[in-house]
Structure 1
């Protein structure tokens, strides 16, 4: 049986494959693995509403640090 997180990941993958988003990802030269890892960070904190600010901060930090390292 799939977990909720697995279902949410499948939904994200389906959305990322839609023409509108895949064109934007290609145009902006975004890394799909980075987007998926950042999404996993949000999933990590989703079960506790008190941690929504922490989730947002961790998500932002992950993306910022990844971009700093790779640029």
Structure 2
């Protein structure tokens, strides 16, 4: 039996495969693995109502740090 997080990950993956999102991902040259890892940071705190803001902050920080490191590598 799948956990709620597994079901949410599957749903997120399905959304990323929709034409309108796939086009944006390709146009912006986004890394799908990165998007999925960032999504996992949202899932980490989803069950605690008091941690929703922390979850959002972790998500933003994950993406910001990734893009900063990509910029520094180039």
TM-score (norm 1): 0.97
SS state of the match for residue 46, structure 1? Answer: coil
Tell me the distance in 2 between the aligned counterparts of 1:49 and 1:6. Answer: 20
Ranges in structure 2 where 5+ consecutive residues have no aligned partner: none
TM-score (norm 2): 0.94
Ranges in structure 1 where 5+ consecutive residues have no aligned partner: none
| Total equivalences in the alignment | 71
Backbone CA RMSD of aligned residues: 0.5
Q: Which stretches of structure 1, 4 residues or longer, exceed 3 Å deviation after superposition?
A: none
Alignment correspondent of 1:42: 42
